[in-house]
Structure formats: structure tokens, C-alpha cells
Chain A
Amino acid sequence: QTVVTQEPSVSVSPAGTVTLTCGLSSGSVSTSYYPSWYQQTPGQAPRTLIYSTNTRSSGVPDRFSGSILGNKAALTITGAQADDESDYYCALYMGSGIWVFGGGTKLTVL
């Protein structure tokens, strides 16, 4: 069973830069997995931030960026703001119409 790994919690200072990662329990994440990133605040549906590794969804501020760093997908927030405090999930496309979500990262801005 494929496991997608994310940091359980990360903190960042206001105006700081933070990188969240998305890895595989076995193997490396590449663009072939079409990494996507979702932001979720309590009680709300997820909001799509990034798709196909590094393409921002419509309306997403450019302080959010996606990339491959080493063997993981990464979401970088540059100039973090208080309302970036959320849960962040990555999803990897495994092929054959199947996706797997990571366990999520709780981002604290303090």
C-alpha cells in the first residue's frame, strides 16, 4: 500500500518563508505523479492551490509555489500571512485513475 508522507506540523513566522514536503514511503516523487496541493481551513472544503507540480490554480496568490525538491514534491509559501494558517494536503496521481492523499500538514503562523 502506497503511503504519501507529509510533516504533521510546521510553523512559520509572519512574513517568513516555509516549505512543506510530500514524499513517498517507497521511492521518489516526480512530475509523473502530477503532485497537487490543497489548503483546508476548519469546517471548509479543501481549496485547490497547485496542480501538475507547479501550476497555481486560478486566484491563488503567487506567494504559493510548487516544485520538486530532491525526491519530494514541495509547497513553498513566501511571505506567510496569518490567514495562511491552515491544513495543507498533497495528492499524488498513481496512474490508472487512482489518487493518494498525504496525511496533511498543520501550518501555524506565529
Chain B
Amino acid sequence: QLQESGPGLVKPSETLSLSCTVSGGSISSGRSYWGWIRQPPGKGLEWIGNIYYSGTTYYNPSLKSRVTISVDTSKNQFSLNLTSVTAADTAVYYCARASYYYCYMDVWGKGTTVTVSS
């Protein structure tokens, strides 16, 4: 299971920080990527990026300049930082596990709503 956590409200120009806690398995298994997907209100899904347990990261080119995904294997967690946020970053943020071999998102968190507003 995956569980997102973090502030539900972030001010414009600040940094959005979320964590995802992995339970029921090891983040270091090597069989999975760990990543983030978001969904603005009334819109579709947008892939943000993934991280492999080794620390190798992969980002959406359109967000790459503002995104950092990191992993803490000791806590079985991975995290998302998104800098210089604007109202356009308001969304439900999902963490997800992606199969390394079959290239799809096989486990999803329930999602957490983040609103960017002063």
C-alpha cells in the first residue's frame, strides 16, 4: 500500500513537498519504480516523475526544472518537491508504484489534495 502525506495548502512561489510511505513491501526490491502523478480539478492525469530505489530519477520534461523526487530506503518512503508553485499546480497528487518489467502503474495511493493559494 501507498500513503501520501504533506500540507494541503501551499502559498504561491513556495515549494510543495509531499511524501509517500510504502507498506507491505520494500522500496528497495528493484522490481519497481516509485513515482508521482497529479490531476488538476476537472482535468486528466499528468505523470510527474519516477525514482528507482538506487536514486535514478526520471521526470516529465515539462516539469523537470521544478521537480525533485528523492527516496529514503531506511524509511521506506519517497518524496516529491515542486518549487515555485502557482495556482496551476493545484491538484490531487497521487503516488504510485510502477512495474519495472511491465512498464505500468500497478499500485496507487489514494491521493492527496494540494491547493496553491495565498
Contact = CB atoms under 8 A, between A and B. Distances in A.
Given A45-B108, A96-B58, A51 B50 contact: no
A42 to B, nearest CB: 10
B61 A99 contact: no
Given A34-B102, A91-B104, A101 B44 contact: yes
Contacts of B99: 51
B103 A34 contact: yes
Interface in B30-77: 33, 37, 44-47, 50, 52, 56, 58, 60-62
Nearest to B101: A52
Contacts of B52: 97
Contacts of A89: 44-45
Nearest to A89: B45
Contacts, number: 68
Nearest to A34: B103
A52 B94 contact: no
B111 A45 contact: yes
A91 B102 contact: no
Chain B interface residue bracket vs A:
20 to 34
A34 B104 contact: yes
B98 A99 contact: yes
B103 A93 contact: yes
Interface residues of A, number: 26
Nearest to A51: B104
B45 A52 contact: no
B62 A48 contact: no
B82 interface: no
B11 interface: no
A102 B44 contact: yes
Interface in A51-108: 51-52, 55, 57, 87, 89, 91, 93, 96-104
Given A46-B45, A101-B46, A102-B44, A52 B60 contact: no
Given A89-B44, A98-B60, 9 more contacts: A36-B103, A36-B104, A45-B110, A48-B106, A52-B104, A55-B102, A97-B52, A101-B47, A104-B45
Interface of B: 33, 37, 44-47, 50, 52, 56, 58, 60-62, 94, 98-99, 102-106, 108-111
